[in-house]
Amino acid sequence: MRFETTPAPHLSVQASVSRLMRRVLWALLPAAAAHLWFFGPGLAFNITVAVVTALAAEALMLRLRGRPIRPGLADGSAVLAAVLLAFALPPLTPWWITATGSAFAMVVAKHLYGGLGYNVFNPAMAGYAVVLVSFPGQLALWSLAAPGGLAPPALDPAQTLAFTLTGRLPEQVTLDAITQATPLDALRSGLAQLQTLSEIRAAAPFGGPGEQAWLWINGLIALGGLWLLWTRAIRWHIPVAMLATLALLSAIAAAIDGDRFASPVLQLFSGAALIGAFFIATDPVSAATTRVGRLLYGSGIGALVFAIRSWGGYPDGVAFAVLLMNLTVPLLDRHTRSRPFGT
Amino acid sequence: MSVALEGHGRLAGGLLLPGRKAQSAALPIAEAPLPVELIYPLGADAGGDPEPAVRMGETVLGDQPLVRAREGQPVLVHAASSGRVVAIEPRPVAGGEAPCIVIAVDGRDERLPCAPPDVALLRDSPALNAMLAAAGLAGLGGAGFATGAKLAAARQQGLRALLINAAECEPYLSCDDRLLRERAPEVVAGTLAMLALTGCPAAVFVLEEDTPEALAALETAIRQSSDPGVLSIVTVPTIYPSGGERQLITLVTGEQVPAEGYPPDIGYLCHNAGTAAALFAYLDTGRPLTRRIVTVTGGGVAQPRNLDVRLGTPIAELIRTCGGYRPEVARLIVGGAMTGRAVACDEVPVTRSTHGVIAATAAELGQRGEAVACIRCGECAEHCPAGLSPQLLHRATQRQDDVALDGLGLFACIECGCCDLVCPSHIPLTEQFRVAKRRVWLRAVDRERARLAEARHLARERRLTRRLAEREAALERRRRAARDPAASSAAIADILRRARRETDPGRDES
């Protein structure tokens, strides 16, 4: 009788990359539902465009690099990067912007750096940063929050699809009528006009569905993130370090000058702080891998987000903060690695 | 009275694994029948490269040494029964092929006469080492280190405590559990002997939390022993690899054995419970070690249980004793499921370090998925009980960067396999590290060889240059002598003197 011989250990592996990626996608589902409820079907179209482009670009690059295509597509990493990019984009984004970001993420950020496991930069954030600096006008407009699509000026699905594909709006509808500043936009422009924080918070989108939408979406993002922590799909170090640093710095700043600096709650629950902490900064490939390294990496992102939001050129800063901290990863890994047992 | 205590330390990393011990632990230890052939590898398991002490066709008795004792030769191997040497040839063993001595058993089971050893002799360290090596005593836990050498070295260093390892952390295995349940007094007596031999003041038995029957049996045995005061029990959590020597010491004492050192460096010595029982058997009867307890288990064998087996017995015989294979059997593993070796055939013999034989079905082991690129999730580092960062080691093995590998502590890897089991990319990390260790080691050997060759070469160059210079100088002297008449006549006299001496060697020089 002959038996198969394999190297030890002989027990099977439980986890898999594709299962991990699928779990992260599931964790985004509640927030995606809230997003669709408040901002209409734009996100669904963005996801579709981003995912199709990402898969096509991934397949093309795998083919050019002579790598097996099917396992590369099946690992779910391209889909996840595309979905995260779609979350970063405004609901009303012309398809070619989404496709450009998604293709850049896969071709340049991922495959030119060596493919899965070797990319220095977070592909989703690299793709987003490229379209953000290339098409600032189109990305500055966020849809008006219309719960359930019930408010009159909101676009119906067909009109949204038409805008996504052609960039054209129905007659008598202006872009101004269906878009609205996000809380962070409002904060930034208000402060630029020398308003105090309490004045800014007295006007839209604060106090209306525009603020509620972000609270809901971010609350569900946090819930998904906690589920990922609970199932050990991610470890706590990066999200906790990032959120704690952002909260701490904004608490100090708000205590010093409450008229000009947003409270920690506003900082955490508007914009991309939570999705950044749980879903983007935790991308294992482009993050530090040691415990101490991850704490430093997370804190660095939190501090940069605070700095960019407070003094930088963009209302939110998660993408740039993540990309900047990606650069420090080799150094962090090198200087924070664990001590071998008995040394 | 003894009460089980909890250890002081925590294990960083490790894994909760399915126990799968119940299937083999339920039945008492049974004696495996005398096989037709006994097979003794002459490879590493017998301590290096031993020379056979028997010839083809020679009749041997039970307990007769099969290899020759040699300077620096660790531990002897003995025939487990009487018979005739029918082959000295390469045979399959765990991990490949090795030259083996094969004995056709005659069934009479005759043994050499023997008497208990003179304990007074064991007080001398070299004698202790030599006598236990001659009795074939080596660790039964897996690593198979020479028991006498360990005890003798520890006696010289001085010990704070002896740790008896009965923490069987590998899934499936239950031989130490059954040993304690059925033969705890032998383990206790062997432990007390170890204390006496090393001059160590106290011994601690270490058990995992999931073996209450063994614990109870051990408590009783300690109570009834001659010196219960120096014996205690510590239980450790059922986390793999709590039974690894260095991990065990940390769990019990909270201290870490230096990476480049050994347990006695911090005052501890670790022995397997089976080794303690084997030592007792030797001191009690004077018979060498020719048997051990082996767990035969897995979903691919009809009746899993523990067997008391003669060393050299082919695994096929053990499977037969346990009711044969089930049709679903897919893989045969010698040792544990985490660290054992999968073997291609069941003619492989049991050796001292064979604590288990797992006939596994494909379903219970599962299939390792296709390996994909490392996504740097760091789970391997979270679970590494040696405090390493396998994800960084992995990249360094890909680059074959030996300096980085050394800096990352490659040689602190205990090859426990935890990183493999948590890797979502299904990378065979442990195997990569095994290969890398061998490569780094071979390169070091090569470097050393190259260094020696270079030194030899340089020495030769120097020698040649010196000789050339000497010859030049002598020639120059002679040339000058030829020009100088006085010196010339002296030179001629010298030549004549030498010529005379050569023709008449009896005459003295004057």
- Condensed to tens digits (0 to 9), the pLDDT of residues A228-248 reads 999 989 999 999 999 999 999
Containing A220, the helix (H) or strand (E) segment is helix A209-230
Tell me which chain B residues have a C-beta less than 8 angstroms from the C-beta of A6: 331, 342, 368
How far is residue B249's CA from residue B263's CA, in Å, rounded to a whole number? Answer: 8
Name the residue with tokens 């092929």: B97
**What value, to the nearest 5°, has the Cα angle with vertex B225 and ends B221 and B227?**
135
Which pairing describes strands B161-166 and B203-208: parallel, antiparallel, or unpaired? parallel
**A117 lies within 8 A of chain B by CB:** yes
Question: CA A240, A243, A246, A250 torsion: positive or negative?
Answer: negative
**What strands lie across the sheet with B30-31, from one edge to the other?**
B30-31, B305-310, B291-297, B356-361, B329-334, B341-343
The yes-or-no verdict on residue B268 having pLDDT over 90 is: yes
CB contact under 8 A, A342 and B258: yes
Q: Before B327, cis peptide (omega within 30)? A: no
Tell me which residue in A7, A8, A16 faces B369 most closely, judged by beta carbons.
A16
How far is residue A48's CA from residue A160's CA, in Å, rounded to a whole number? Answer: 13
Residue B1 — very low, low, confident or very high, per pLDDT cuts 50/70/90?
very low
Mean pLDDT, residues B33-54 taken together: 80
The domain covering B4-35+111-293 belongs, at the CATH homologous superfamily level, to: NADH-ubiquinone oxidoreductase 51kDa subunit (3.40.50.11540)
Which CATH number applies to B295-365? Answer: 3.10.20.600
Tell me which residue in B250, B376, B431 faces A7 most closely, judged by beta carbons.
B431
**Lowest mean pLDDT: which of B74-78, B158-162, B389-393?**
B74-78
How far is residue B397's CA from residue A327's CA, in Å, rounded to a whole number? Answer: 23
The alpha carbon of residue A96 and the mean position of all alpha carbons in its chain are separated, in whole angstroms, by 19
Tell me which chain A residues have a C-beta less than 8 angstroms from the C-beta of B382: 235
Q: Which two tokens stand for residue B414?
A: 């205990």
Write out pLDDT tens, residues B185-230: 999 999 999 999 998 999 999 999 989 999 999 999 999 998 889 9
For chain A, give every domain's residue range.
Answer: 16-149+156-180, 209-334
Give the number of other CB atoms < 10 A from CB of residue B503: 8
- CA atoms within a 13 Å half-sphere pointing along the CA-CB vector of B281: 18
Identify the closest residue of chain B to A12 by CA–CA distance. Answer: B366
Residue B126 — very low, low, confident or very high, per pLDDT cuts 50/70/90?
confident
Supply the ipTM of this predicted assembly: 0.87
How far is residue B88's CA from residue B100's CA, in Å, rounded to a whole number? Answer: 5
Which pairing describes strands B305-310 and B291-297: parallel, antiparallel, or unpaired? antiparallel
The yes-or-no verdict on residue B9 having pLDDT over 80 is: no
Give the number of other CB atoms < 10 A from CB of residue B309: 29
Are A132 and A101 spatial neighbours (Cβ–Cβ below 8 Å)?
no
Tell me which chain B residues have a C-beta less than 8 angstroms from the C-beta of A343: 258-259, 409, 412
Residue B509 — very low, low, confident or very high, per pLDDT cuts 50/70/90?
very low
Q: What is the pLDDT of residue B5?
A: 67
Give the number of other CB atoms < 10 A from CB of residue B220: 14
Determine the distance in angstroms separating the CA of A19 from the nearest CA of chain B, rounded to an integer.
Answer: 8
How far is residue B466's CA from residue B464's CA, in Å, rounded to a whole number? Answer: 5
The yes-or-no verdict on residue B48 having pLDDT over 80 is: no
Tell me which residue in B337, B342, B426 faces A5 most closely, judged by beta carbons.
B342
**A340 lies within 8 A of chain B by CB:** yes
Residue to substitute from A2, A3, A228, A282, interface B, most B β-carbons within 10 A: A3
Q: What is the pLDDT of residue B72?
A: 65
Question: CA B413, B418, B422, B424 torsion: positive or negative?
Answer: positive
pTM for the predicted model, two decimal places: 0.83
Q: Which two tokens stand for residue B286?
A: 């004077």
**B436 lies within 8 A of chain A by CB:** no
**A13 lies within 8 A of chain B by CB:** yes
A vs B, Cβ pairs < 8 A, gives: 170
Residue A328 — very low, low, confident or very high, per pLDDT cuts 50/70/90?
very high
Q: Which two tokens stand for residue B329?
A: 């059997």
**Lowest mean pLDDT: which of A120-124, B146-150, B282-286?**
B146-150
How far is residue A248's CA from residue A253's CA, in Å, rounded to a whole number? Answer: 9
Tell me which chain B residues have a C-beta less than 8 angstroms from the C-beta of A3: 329-332, 342-346
Give the number of other CB atoms < 10 A from CB of residue B320: 17
Tell me which chain A residues have a C-beta less than 8 angstroms from the C-beta of B384: 338
Tell me which chain A residues have a C-beta less than 8 angstroms from the C-beta of B410: none
How far is residue B353's CA from residue B292's CA, in Å, rounded to a whole number? Answer: 9
What part of B 361-380 touches A (C-beta under 8 Å)? 365-370, 372-379
Domain with CATH 1.10.1060 in chain B: 371-510
CA torsion B240-B244-B249-B250 (nearest 10°) is: -40
Integer angstrom CA distances of residue A264 from A208, A247, A268, B149, B394:
20, 5, 6, 65, 40
Determine the distance in angstroms separating the CA of B226 from the nearest CA of chain A, rounded to an integer.
Answer: 36
Q: What is the pLDDT of residue B211?
A: 92
**B492 lies within 8 A of chain A by CB:** no
Determine the distance in angstroms separating the CA of A45 from the nearest CA of chain B, rounded to an integer.
Answer: 29
Which CATH number applies to B371-510? Answer: 1.10.1060
Domain with CATH 3.40.50.11540 in chain B: 4-35+111-293
Write out pLDDT tens, residues B316-347: 999 999 999 999 999 999 999 999 999 999 99
CB contact under 8 A, A4 and B342: yes
Determine the distance in angstroms separating the CA of B140 from the nearest CA of chain A, rounded to an integer.
Answer: 20
CB contact under 8 A, B366 and A15: no
Residue to substitute from B425, B430, B434, B435, interface A, most A β-carbons within 10 A: B425
Containing B101, the helix (H) or strand (E) segment is strand B96-105
- CA atoms within a 13 Å half-sphere pointing along the CA-CB vector of B114: 21
Q: What is the pLDDT of residue B12?
A: 80
Q: Which two tokens stand for residue B156?
A: 């010289």
Question: CA A114, A119, A121, A125 torsion: positive or negative?
Answer: positive
Residue A152 — very low, low, confident or very high, per pLDDT cuts 50/70/90?
low
Can you tell me whether residue B306 is helix, strand or coil?
strand
Tell me which residue in A8, A285, A333 faces B392 most closely, judged by beta carbons.
A333
The yes-or-no verdict on residue B90 having pLDDT over 60 is: yes
**B61 lies within 8 A of chain A by CB:** no
Q: Which residues pair with B111 in a beta bridge?
A: B62
Determine the distance in angstroms separating the CA of A298 from the nearest CA of chain B, rounded to an integer.
Answer: 15
CB contact under 8 A, B337 and A115: no
How far is residue B114's CA from residue B288's CA, in Å, rounded to a whole number? Answer: 9
CB contact under 8 A, A341 and B412: yes
Determine the distance in angstroms separating the CA of B344 from the nearest CA of chain A, rounded to an integer.
Answer: 5
CB contact under 8 A, B417 and A17: no
Identify the closest residue of chain A to B257 by CA–CA distance. Answer: A342
**DSSP collapsed to 3 states, B147-205:** HHHHHHHHHHHCCCEEEEEECCCCCCCCHHHHHHHHHHHHHHHHHHHHHHHHCCCCEEE
Question: CA B494, B497, B501, B506 torsion: positive or negative?
Answer: negative
The yes-or-no verdict on residue B308 having pLDDT over 50 is: yes
**Lowest mean pLDDT: which of A104-108, A117-121, A152-156?**
A152-156
**A118 lies within 8 A of chain B by CB:** yes
Can you tell me whether residue A102 is helix, strand or coil?
helix
* Burial of B496 (C-beta count, 10 Å sphere; 0-12/13-18/19+): exposed
**B337 lies within 8 A of chain A by CB:** yes
How far is residue A310's CA from residue A306's CA, in Å, rounded to a whole number? Answer: 6
Q: Which two tokens stand for residue A331?
A: 């150094």
CB contact under 8 A, B424 and A20: yes
The alpha carbon of residue B32 and the mean position of all alpha carbons in its chain are separated, in whole angstroms, by 25
Q: What is the pLDDT of residue B7?
A: 67
The alpha carbon of residue B309 and the mean position of all alpha carbons in its chain are separated, in whole angstroms, by 20
Q: What mean pLDDT, rounded, does chain A reach?
A: 91
Q: What is the pLDDT of residue A202?
A: 85
Q: What mean pLDDT, rounded, does chain B reach?
A: 89
Are B350 and B380 spatial neighbours (Cβ–Cβ below 8 Å)?
no
Tell me which chain B residues have a C-beta less than 8 angstroms from the C-beta of A281: none
Determine the distance in angstroms separating the CA of A342 from the nearest CA of chain B, rounded to an integer.
Answer: 4
Of the two residues A36 and B122, the one the predictor is more confident about is A36
What part of B 133-162 touches A (C-beta under 8 Å)? none
Q: What is the pLDDT of residue B447?
A: 87
**B381 lies within 8 A of chain A by CB:** yes
Domain with CATH 3.10.20.600 in chain B: 295-365
**A10 lies within 8 A of chain B by CB:** yes
The yes-or-no verdict on residue A31 having pLDDT over 60 is: yes
CB contact under 8 A, A13 and B422: yes
What's the one-letter identity of residue B41?
P
The yes-or-no verdict on residue B2 having pLDDT over 50 is: no
Are B359 and B301 spatial neighbours (Cβ–Cβ below 8 Å)?
yes
Phi–psi pair at B359, nearest 5 degrees: -95, 105
